[in-house]
Chains A and B, each alone.
Chain A
């Protein structure tokens, strides 16, 4: 079974631009979560999607948004990029929203904002 895939793997943008990152979960997994990892703040929860609905959102500004499609693939968008948005963005999928399901992480998208 293929793992979680994220595209693109690397991205360089300039301040003020917007970016869209994509995540394809493991086949059959319906829950997708997004995380931001920076050297200063570590790993932080961004959002969780299940059945095309955002179920939970972390403490991030409205510039960060996302969606999930009927095939469970998910995208996240960051508008009006700031230097501080430079980070590794990880998505993880699980079978459903149960806390007792293992999360499988993708390789991440490394975003650099210049």
Chain B
């Protein structure tokens, strides 16, 4: 079993839909990161969480330390949100989920 599990692996949505991507981890961590990777490889850090909830524009990230679970929500999704979203946990080193490929159709 992977130490960082993401679901779903692939997600197709219509523009405007509310999207949720989940991340569960089994190791002790000090922080959890959500990353966005567009075609071509560039990775952008969206959030760093150690507790609670954070919001940037239409993106919301939450973490439950006791349950070892985090969610990334996108409200009013848009085609430009199409990308791979990766959950990464920081313990002694960084461990990554396999990613969720999101496609938002107009």
Note all chain B residues with C-beta closer than 8 A to A50. Answer: none
**Is B41 located at the chain interface by the 8 A CB criterion?**
yes
Docked complex: B14-68 residues within 8 A CB-CB of A:
30-31, 33, 35, 41-45, 48, 50
Shortest beta-carbon distance from B38 to chain A in Å: 11
Residues of A within 8 A of B95 (CB): 45
In angstroms, Cα B45 to Cα A101, docked, is 11
Interchain CB contact under 8 A, B43 and A90: yes
- The count of A-to-B residue pairs whose CB atoms sit within 8 angstroms is 48
Q: Is the CB of A104 within 8 A of B41?
A: no
> Do B41 and A88 touch across chains, with their CB atoms under 8 A apart?
yes
Place the interface of chain B in its size category. Answer: 20 to 34
Would you call B48 and A108 a contact (CB within 8 A)? no
A106 to B86 CA separation, bound complex (whole angstroms): 16
Asked if residues A42 and B93 are in contact (CB atoms below 8 Å), the reply is: no
A41 CB to nearest chain B CB (Å):
9
- B102 interfacial by beta-carbon distance below 8 Å: no
- Asked if A58 CB lies within 8 Å of chain B CBs, one says yes
A105 & B43 in contact (Cβ 8 Å cutoff): yes
